[in-house]
């Protein structure tokens, strides 16, 4: 027997013995149904055998084979390559290992394996379901108390404990909109999915004042921004609102279903959509918060809605 082949056999036996010892003998293979350890050991065995076969094959080729065949046209500094066919055995091994890898990841492990992350997610889902059922029928007082707790944890770091926005770092939730935010939306448009769906508001180049028959002007933007920010009181800017904004936001500014949101007051639906989709405006971008349960979102909506009343 060739010395190279004999050495390969000895190495394979030694590596398999080392693998057997490393996993703790037959006891380390796991009990019935323990596929994780069985697959790991089987993968190690296959790897050792394939590696030994490939190394042995090419070492023997280097020892005994002679170059033959047709040279490729290209060469590098006079060094050329033969146009050899892909070795059949190499192709079979390569294909087999690819099939094994696909099966291993999709049917064997890790897709079907135990994971701490998966267990954690299942426990969280079970807890959330229990939480939802327990607090599904709260009265208004309990709902506001829960909403305040959620607000302190999730919202106060940016909006402040008093929901005043911490000197402009976030929106002041004690009133619906300020003048700066209104101007920004009119000038740049909005696509914050405040209705829970894609219903963008055009920028100023798409806003026509029906009273004048022309696009809205800077002076009209200033006037209507002050009018809306001031609670839609007084007369300055009222005509601009009626001619430009009321068609979508309604004459009282409380919005129109499937068309535009309320711009005079918060409501639970609006708050829920902001939490789900986030919001981008004059101050910056607020991320979406998808870590809350439906009950928590409902409670938060009730609490924030009550702040501006």
The domain locations on the chain are: 3-69+83-115, 124-307
Superfamily of domain covering 124-307: Cytochrome c-like domain (1.10.760.10)
Mean pLDDT of 139-164: 95
Arithmetic mean of pLDDT over the chain: 87
Burial class (CB in 10 A: 0-12, 13-18, 19+), 46: middle
Specify the pTM: 0.62
Sequence-ordered list of residues with C-beta below 8 angstroms from that of 74, at least 6 positions apart, any chain: 80, 81
Instruction: Give me the pLDDT at residue 32, please.
Output: 57
Alpha carbon of 283 to those of 141, 201, 231, 280: distances in Å? Answer: 32, 18, 21, 8
For residue 265, pLDDT beyond 90: yes
CA dihedral for 78, 83, 89, 95, sign (positive or negative) = positive
For residue 30, pLDDT beyond 70: no
SS3 category, 13: helix
Bridge partners, 209 (sequence order): 214
For residue 8, pLDDT beyond 90: no
Residues marked as binding for heme c?
155, 158-159, 208, 245, 248-249, 286
d(C-alpha 273, C-alpha 288), whole Å: 9
**Among 63, 61, 54, 52, which residue's Cα sits nearest to residue 11?**
52
Residues marked as binding?
155, 158-159, 208, 245, 248-249, 286
d(C-alpha 193, C-alpha 270), whole Å: 9
For residue 31, pLDDT beyond 60: no
For residue 103, pLDDT beyond 70: yes
């Amino acid at each position: 027997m060739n010395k190279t082949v004999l050495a390969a056999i000895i190495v394979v036996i030694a590596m398999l013995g080392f693998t057997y010892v490393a996993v703790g003998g037959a006891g380390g293979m796991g009990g019935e149904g323990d596929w994780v350890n069985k697959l790991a050991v089987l993968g190690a065995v296959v790897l050792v055998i394939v590696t030994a076969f490939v190394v042995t094959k090419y070492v023997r080729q280097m020892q005994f084979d002679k170059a033959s065949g047709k040279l490729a046209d290209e060469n590098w500094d006079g060094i050329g390559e033969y146009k050899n066919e892909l070795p059949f055995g190499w192709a079979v091994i390569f294909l087999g290992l690819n099939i094994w890898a696909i099966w291993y990841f999709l049917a064997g492990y890790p897709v079907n394996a135990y994971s701490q992350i998966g267990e954690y997610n299942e426990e969280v889902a079970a807890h959330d379901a229990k939480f939802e059922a327990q607090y599904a029928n709260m009265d208004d007082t309990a709902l506001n108390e829960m909403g305040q707790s959620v607000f302190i944890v999730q919202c106060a770091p940016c909006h402040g404990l008093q929901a005043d926005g911490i000197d402009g770092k976030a929106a002041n939730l004690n009133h619906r909109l300020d003048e700066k935010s209104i101007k920004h939306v009119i000038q740049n448009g909005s696509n914050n999915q405040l209705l829970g769906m894609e219903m963008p508001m055009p920028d100023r180049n798409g806003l026509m004042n029906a009273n004048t028959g022309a696009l809205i002007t800077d002076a009209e933007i200033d006037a209507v921004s002050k009018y809306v920010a001031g609670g839609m009181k007084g007369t300055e800017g009222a005509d601009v609102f009626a001619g430009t904004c009321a068609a979508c936001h309604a004459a009282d500014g409380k919005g129109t279903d499937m068309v535009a949101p309320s711009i005079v007051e918060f409501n639970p639906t609006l708050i829920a959509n902001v939490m789900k989709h986030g919001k981008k405006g004059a101050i910056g971008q607020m991320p979406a918060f998808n870590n809350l349960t439906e009950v928590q979102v409902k409670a938060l909506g009730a609490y924030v809605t009550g702040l501006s009343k």
